[in-house]
């Protein structure tokens, strides 16, 4: 069977499911077109040449052809498999949670270069650096809020704009942090430590997260709530 080559897409496999006896349908997050569903023919066979290319996290330049309204992968120049993620359950689950966020907020056929580069950076740090558990996903959430126009005001009260003194509060309506003078009924107190850690992560590059020695559980829970508030989606637990 002869296929006509139509396009090359550079992307990361962020999900897949079985299709027919030996095929897979995968979601490819591409730098050129956002999310694209692609078919891998015969890849469940032991000696399939594209067996690795269909795996979750695989990053490569995929050769795509169209047949009967299906986008079929006929080749792949692999750039990185992020194999190390499969060797550490905590890193693997954190990376999977990040992929789920991408699937939630990215649209099919709509380019989002900033989100693609953010994902690629996060996966590299998870795979090859020893960043503390949950620090990468907290950083990722802070960054995507910023790139989508929801930048958190972490340095001053989101209501009055003054510096923080004493207690601080998380607003359950807006996801912002306010001072004691601006707190309302629908706010909860958060620790100064959690607030400080969020500020530090916000100002720390991905590749320097390894230098941080905090525990990020409280910060992760705050960002999970913030994500649900803004996008009406749940961050995967791990």
pLDDT in tens, 102-133: 999 998 999 999 999 999 999 999 999 999 99
The residue ranking higher by pLDDT, 21 or 177, is: 177
Domain 5-81: CATH class, spelled out: mainly beta
Q: What is the mean pLDDT of residues 181-194?
A: 91
Indicate the pairing of strand 70-80 with strand 34-40. parallel
Q: Is the pLDDT of residue 3 over 70?
A: no
In the block, tokens 């230098």 appear at 211
CB neighbourhood size of 213 (10 A): 6
CB 10 within 8 A of CB 51: no
Tell me whether residue 69 is exposed, middle or buried, using C-beta atoms within 10 angstroms of its C-beta: 0 to 12, 13 to 18, 19 or more: exposed
Tens digits of residue pLDDT in 76-93? 999 999 999 999 999 999
5-81 against 84-231: fold identical: no
Lowest mean pLDDT among 11-15, 27-31, 98-102, 163-167: 163-167
**3 state SS of 145:** helix
Distance of CA 6 to the CA centre of its chain: 29
CB neighbourhood size of 221 (10 A): 15
Q: Locate the domains of the chain by residue range.
A: 5-81, 84-231
The residue ranking higher by pLDDT, 174 or 138, is: 138
Query: Can you give the pLDDT at residue 191?
Result: 92
* CA atoms of 133 and 217, how far apart (whole Å): 9
* CA atoms of 187 and 70, how far apart (whole Å): 49
Tell me whether residue 231 is exposed, middle or buried, using C-beta atoms within 10 angstroms of its C-beta: 0 to 12, 13 to 18, 19 or more: middle
Angle at CA of residue 186, ends 229 and 199, nearest 5°: 60
**3 state SS of 7:** strand
Tens digits of residue pLDDT in 18-76? 888 888 999 999 999 999 999 999 888 878 889 899 999 999 999 999 887 789 999 99
Domain 84-231: CATH class, spelled out: mainly alpha
Query: Can you give the pLDDT at residue 44?
Result: 80
């Amino acid at each position: 069977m002869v296929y006509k080559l139509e396009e090359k897409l550079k992307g990361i496999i962020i999900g897949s499911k079985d299709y027919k006896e030996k095929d897979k349908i995968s979601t490819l997050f591409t730098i050129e077109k956002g999310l694209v569903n692609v078919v891998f023919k015969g890849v469940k066979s032991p000696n399939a040449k594209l067996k690795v290319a269909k795996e979750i996290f695989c990053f490569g330049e995929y050769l795509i052809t169209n047949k009967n309204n299906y986008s079929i992968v006929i080749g792949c120049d692999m750039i990185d498999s992020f194999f190390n993620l499969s060797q550490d359950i905590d890193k693997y689950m954190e990376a999977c949670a990040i992929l789920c966020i991408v699937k939630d907020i990215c649209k099919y056929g709509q380019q989002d270069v900033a989100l693609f580069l953010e994902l690629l950076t996060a996966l590299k740090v998870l795979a090859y650096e020893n960043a503390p558990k949950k620090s990468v996903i907290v950083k990722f959430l802070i960054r995507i809020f910023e790139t989508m126009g929801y930048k958190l005001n972490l340095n001053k009260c989101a209501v009055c704009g003054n510096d923080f003194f004493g207690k601080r509060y998380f607003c359950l309506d807006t996801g912002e942090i306010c001072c004691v003078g601006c707190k309302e009924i629908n706010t909860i107190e958060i620790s100064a430590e959690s607030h400080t850690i969020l500020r530090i992560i916000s100002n720390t590059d991905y590749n320097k997260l390894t230098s941080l020695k905090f525990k990020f559980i409280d910060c992760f829970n705050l960002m999970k709530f913030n994500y649900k508030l803004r996008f009406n989606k749940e961050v995967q637990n791990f």
